[in-house]
Amino acid sequence: MNSSRAWLVWGAAVVAYVVAVLQRSSLGVSGVEAQHIFGISASTLSTLAVVQLIVYAGLQIPVGVLLDRVGPRALIVAGGVLLVVGQSVVALAPPHIGVAIVGRVLVGAGDAMTFISVIRLLPAWFRGPILPQISQWTGNVGQLGQVLSAVPLSIVLHGSGWQPAFLGAAGLSVVAVVLVVVVVRDSPLGRPAESAGTTWRDAGRQLGESIRRPGTRLGFWSHFVTQSSGTVFSLLWGVPFLVGALGFTATQASGMLTLLVASGVVAGPVLGLLTARYPLRRSNLVLGIVAALGITWTVLLAWPGQPPQWLAFVLVVVLGVGGPGSLIGFDFARSFNPMRSLGVANGIVNVGGFLASFVMMFLIGVVLDQLDAARVAGGAPSDLFSFESFRVAFLVQYVVVGGGVVCLVLERRRTRRLLHLEEGIQVAPLWVALNRRWQTRRRRSS
């Protein structure tokens, strides 16, 4: 455990995840080009991204069940193969949206197998307080795939065209598959002992047990409320918003997506340390991140007239914190589930953020189309990506994330109640705990 070989295995697995994130986010930097190539509306463009995420989210639990049965290495390889095929289909698709949708479905399926498989590897190779930090580093380093899509892929796309860009992306998945086959093993002994005798009936029973655990559901809603806003921004609507509504150039918009990733890379280790040091306050970290997101979006959308570009920089930095914040959900899954069902528990958690994301992506596209149709009907020229349209469309986030926060608070109460009954641990409200600590320090100083 925690050996040099463990770090080598982790590094190879993370490379596969970086490439998977590149494939996932490739549509975010090519949305404008896709709209022109396929001649589609905002709603159809959002459908292209939503279908990918529906496949991703829909496969999380089946993949989680399979993960506990066959192990992570096989699924990372299978996912990489699907990514190669999917991006090749997108690259070679004729100007007809149906073929491109098939390609994105395959991308979503391959992506679905990658992250939770990499996360599943970690407890087999690492132990102790370093584990939450490794989980954060996994998520943060993986987001470098967004940088690869925002910069190199974008440069190839605008310089050489659609086919070279997407075929080149597919080629990176080939490299990742070879690396995983050569380096990665499920555990120091090969296959995890916990999964060796798992039957499909056992897997179904473990799924039911995981769903019934309040801690698993708490992880689901934590992922739901923290990850979704940044995903919507980076995978689809960020570049159209920055370019069409705020006046950034395409190059500047790509740089902003890189800033989003950099923000997460900086925040991730800090959140990992806080998660390890204050395990009973993880939900407070989640709610704090959601509050910061809500305040920043409110200031930007309520700004009279055109908001300044510096405010967009603040928004992107805060959105970047949501990514590593969502990984706290997997820490809940690890804490409240046995090793034998950790794969399916991680799958349940991972559905959360992507479920919220594809709902918001689709609804934002519908609202943009309706507002633009009303604008044209009133005699004004079409302006699909105007700030006034985005100002209304982005309000969708408040409804979706707000509902998730309510569910999170309810599951936190259930989880704390169960923790008190089973282990005798009673978690006081944060303000009570802070007041106790202040009183203790005051008595010591006096």
**Residue-level pLDDT at 301:** 95
**Residue-level pLDDT at 196:** 45
The reply to whether 419 falls in a domain is yes
SS (H, E, C) 271-284: HHHHHHHCHHHHHH
* 420 pLDDT higher than 90: no
Q: Is 199 helix (H, G, I), strand (E, B) or coil?
A: coil
Helices marked H in 113-153 = 115-125, 130-142, 144-148
The reply to whether 195 falls in a domain is no
CA distance 224 to 240: 24
The token pair that represents 365 in the structure block: 């596209």
Residue 190 forms beta bridges with which residues? 187
The reply to whether 423 falls in a domain is yes
Report yes or no: 10 and 122 within 8 Å, Cβ to Cβ: yes
Q: Is 386 helix (H, G, I), strand (E, B) or coil?
A: coil
Report yes or no: 117 and 79 within 8 Å, Cβ to Cβ: yes
The reply to whether 82 falls in a domain is yes
Report CA Rg, the chain.
Answer: 22
Report yes or no: 234 and 257 within 8 Å, Cβ to Cβ: yes
Using CB atoms within 10 A of its CB, is residue 102 exposed (0-12), middle (13-18) or buried (19+)?
middle
**Residue-level pLDDT at 75:** 95
pLDDT digits 0-9 by tens, 271-311? 888 888 888 889 999 999 999 999 999 999 999 988 999 99
CA distance 409 to 62: 27
* 178 pLDDT higher than 90: yes
Give the sign of the dihedral formed by CA 339, CA 344, CA 348, CA 349.
Answer: positive
DSSP secondary structure, 389-430, as one string:
HHHHHTTHHHHHHHHHHHHHHHHHHHHHHHHHHHH------H
CA nearest neighbour of 344 among 227, 206, 191, 222: 206
| CATH code where residue 90 lies | 1.20.1250.20
* 434 pLDDT higher than 80: no
Give 296-302's long-range contacts (Cβ < 8 A, gap of 24+): 297/229, 297/394, 297/397, 297/398, 301/391, 301/394, 301/395
The reply to whether 194 falls in a domain is no
Average pLDDT in the chain: 86
pTM: 0.76
Query: Which range is least confidently modeled, 29-43, 247-261, 346-360?
Result: 29-43
Report yes or no: 86 and 23 within 8 Å, Cβ to Cβ: yes
Query: Which of 35-44, 46-55, 374-383 holds the top average pLDDT?
Result: 374-383
The reply to whether 344 falls in a domain is yes
The reply to whether 358 falls in a domain is yes
pLDDT digits 0-9 by tens, 225-269? 999 999 899 878 898 899 989 989 888 887 898 899 889 888 988
The reply to whether 193 falls in a domain is no
Range of the domain at 400: 4-188+200-445
Give the sign of the dihedral formed by CA 331, CA 337, CA 341, CA 346.
Answer: negative
**Residue-level pLDDT at 99:** 85
pLDDT digits 0-9 by tens, 193-203? 454 445 667 76
Provide the domain count of the chain: 1
What's the distance, Cα to Cα, between the start and end of the chain in Å? Answer: 46
Number of H helices, E strands in the chain: 20, 0
* 13 pLDDT higher than 90: yes
The HSE-up count of residue 350 (CA atoms within 13 Å, CB side) is 30
**Residue-level pLDDT at 203:** 67
